[in-house]
Every structure is written in C-alpha cells, then in structure tokens.
Structure 1
Amino acid sequence: MKKAYLEKITLSKNKRGCYILDTVKGCSFGITNNNKGCYGECYAKNIADRYGFNFNNPKCRVFKNNNNQLYFFGLKDMTHTNQIIRQINNMQMPFIRIGEMGDPSEDWEHTLSVCKDIVSVHKKIVVITKHIKQIPDKLLPVVEKLNFCINTSISALDEERLRQKRLSQFHKLKNICNSVLRIVSCSFNKNNKEGYRLDKIQSDLFKNDNYIDTIFRPGINNKLVMNNIINTSKTWFLNSYVLASVHNKNTYFGLCSYCPDMCGINK
C-alpha cells in the first residue's frame, strides 16, 4: 500500500537549487487520462512512485503549530510558522516556489491562507499552476494584496479546452498580479502530421507576452517519442545527460540560481 503524504508543510530544496513550499502534494487531475500524468511524463508522479507515495490522493499541507498549551491564555502558537519564515529568509534564492509536487489550485483558499501566514518573508512568492480549479473571484483581492507571481503552466500538448482555460486565466490575472505564461515547449517533428499541427499551436503560444520557456524531458518510452511526434536529443542537465526535446537552444537548462528568468519574478 502506498503512503499518504504528511500534512505538515515543509520547505525543501530540489536538485536545481530551488526552494519549494508545497501547499498541496499530489494531484487529482493529471492521472485521469494517463496513469503517467500530464503529457505521459509527470516528474512529480515519477518521484512519488519512486518513494512510495500515493500521488493520486492530494493532501493539503498545513502549519503544525501547537495551540493547545496556549488556548487557555487566548494566544496563538506560531512556532512552526516562524520556523518556516526564518528558513525562507535565510535561503540564498530570491523567491520560493509553490507548486512542484502538486498543484496549489486543488485548494486556492488553503494556498492563499498559507501565503498570508508567510507574508512577512523578504522573498518573492511564485505559484505554479495548471489552474485545475480557477481562482474564485472572491479571492482575487487577496491575490492582488499578496502581490505574488503566478506561473500559468501550459503546452501545445494540452487539450484545446484546457489550453484556452489556462490562457484565459493567464490574461485575467494580468490585472491582479505578476502573471507569467510558463510554456512547456518541445521540438516538434514538422515532418509528422501531428508534430506539424502541434508546432503551429506552440508558435501561437509564444506570441503571448510575459512568458518563460521550459524544456520538456520525456522518457524514452513516451508515446510522443515513440511516434516521432517530437525530436529529442541527449542534453547535459545538472550532472548528467538526459533525454530532452529542445525547441530553442538558447533556453536556459540548469541550476535555478543562474537562471535569467527566475520563474518570472524579473518579468
């Protein structure tokens, strides 16, 4: 039996050197059409499977402050919250990221509540989402007040309905916060009918303003690779060569500390 994610929220550092504060771990959406996740290659699900976690059952992550001992005095214990705030302020990166091992849009109210609890940090907050659930209009004033950066993750590989939904959210949020289009790009094989079609869609995505380009890393058995829809090559990434589909050779592909985009906070 696979393990459930713990409820206690933690600050972690990934292999690229980015600090992650996931308000939700797991995903209820990506595995509905493909048990390997979005695009048949969900990195988060691969990691969850490797360590035996139930990725299909998302879990909201909370601050585990001990309020019982202070209840009698009408006080609120902030020990865990303050510990996370100190960790964030002491890290070397200029921002924290919410949305690596799960999509924060699973519960926007909870995600924004966590952001409000750490609003005193001296770092930017970046939220990465596919907008599985749209931000309710009643919460937009909270988003505006928090003044963080929302990366709308999108790809030509998305279904038309989902792509339009995400584009709509990206444009809507421009009036609310720093809204960035996070395009998962591929080198499409234009000699392939489906590859040619997807390449045209991708070209239209890159016509938007305020976007960042992220390189798709498929497995060798991914159907997009096996059906020659995308071009791939062995590409140096961190400490080894990986299979990647590189649309633009100038797109940064390495440690986060040297990335010019910084998940869009410099946009």
Structure 2
Amino acid sequence: FTPFIPPSEPAASTGSGLSATMEQPLWQWATGMTPSIYGVAGIISGAALVFFAFLGFDVVATTSEEAINPKRNVPLGIGVGMGLIIVLYTLVAFVTTGMVSYKDLAKQENPSLATAFEMVGANWAAKIISFGIVIGLATVVMVLLLGLTRVVFAMSRDGLLPRGLSHTGKHGTPVRLQICVGVVMALIAACCNVGILADMVNIGTLSAFTLVAISVPIMRKKRPDLKRTFKIPGNPWVPILIALANIWLMLNLSVLTWLRFVVWLIVGFCIYFGYGYKHARLGTGELEVGKQE
C-alpha cells in the first residue's frame, strides 16, 4: 500500500527489559512479535490511541431524556455528527501530511497541528489554530462533563450509587453532582499524566461500547417484547462486527494500560458488589425491565 501506508519499521526502544515490555501493544507482547511502527499494524495502534478524539457522540444518547423527539433526533444527531467528524478529520490529515513529512513532524517536541504550520513558516496560521484548539477543548470538556454527570445521575437513581447523588435543583438538573464531578475531574487532570488518562479513557470507552454492542443481540433475543424506539440494522452481525473491531483496538493498547484497566475493573467490581448489587432498584424489585416510572 506504499506510499499511502508507510512501510513498517522496528520501533525505537523506549527502555529495556520490563519497561520496554510494558509499552508494547498487548497483542504484540502476547504473540512475541517485534515492536514496530507504521504499516497497517501501526495505523491500527494509532487508531486505538486517538480514539478519544471521536468521543462525544455518545453524549447525545446519554442526554436523550432531555431531547426533543429523541426517537428521531438522537439517531440523526449521532449519524450526522460522526459523519462530519470523519470528513473533517480526514481532510485535516490530508492537509497536514501534504504540508510536511510525518517523519519530520514526529521529530518535533510535542508536535501538534499548529506545529505543522510553524514548520512551513505560517506562524500566523499556527497561532489561529492554537487559539481554536483551546476554545475547542473548552467546549469538549463541558460536553463530556454533561454526559458524565448524566451517567452518574442515572446510576444513582437506579440505586447503583448513593441516592443522594441524583438530587436535582429547582431547574430539574443535578447541579450539586455537576459541581462535584467537575471538581474531581479538575483534580485528576491536574495530578495525573494526560497521556495515561487518554489511554485509560480509550480502553474504558472501548470496553463499554463493546458491552453495549454485545448486549444488543442478547436483549433482542431475551426480551423481544421491549418497546424500542430505534433498532440497529443488520442485527446480529453489525453489533458483532462492532464488538470485534473494538476488541481489536483494545488489543493494540499497551500492556501497562491493560494492567491499569484490570486494577480499575477490580475497584469497580468492589463498588458494585459492596454497594450497588444490594441497593440496585432492579435487584430489589423496585423497578422492572421495560416498565416506565
């Protein structure tokens, strides 16, 4: 596929012994392959790392309770939003790699989109792009904060977390929860490495999307009586393909990311079996599947 896909090259060692092993993609470590960059495998590894750039479309579904005509607008919003993102990201990638060599860009310290314009002498454009990035990140943080609070709110309302977290203010929104989650997010961002956080977001989100994809054909089979406002076409093959693609992306994340993910899962299981399992409204009989309050 050269020159459209750069030929595979051995990866430069970032350490020795255990340190180098921890930075390998899990599938390369499991199969004993030599770590490499570029090529088809490199593209997939890169896709797993930048997956977080596509996050946000799930917030449309998370906030569906507050949407007008969700049956129509939620699928439409997700489809149009993802389509625009894919087109824009692809165009940006074409322009960037057309201006400067990807190898030259990789040699720069902390390279970004603005760096490519600086390398060709368009410093004015680099400043505009940097300003746009800051504004864009601010809006992304607000949207993701909105989605996260709605998830925690729903879990609290269902009894998986303390019920007090689902308290709403006079406008019907979880104001206290929004502030608490915002403070926690700010502290984590200030104290933790951004690269590590990005990897954890990637593997956590991919695992969640995988479980959602797997649950679609299972719920279609077990509960055909449930009212569904939207049905994914191509069931069960489309959900299965989605789950396999997500798992493959997860396998391209580093061994160290997987170890952190396992620890995080253990913490989650402790919270669930220590509190959520005993207090969940679905388990106590307060709430039935498919019944509306």
* Alignment TM class, shorter chain as reference: under 0.3
Which protein is richer in helix relative to its size?
2
Q: Rg: which structure is higher?
A: 2
Q: More relative contact order in 1 or in 2 (CA 8 Å, sep 6+)?
A: 2
Which protein is richer in strand relative to its size?
1
TM-score by length of 1: 0.25
TM-score by length of 2: 0.23
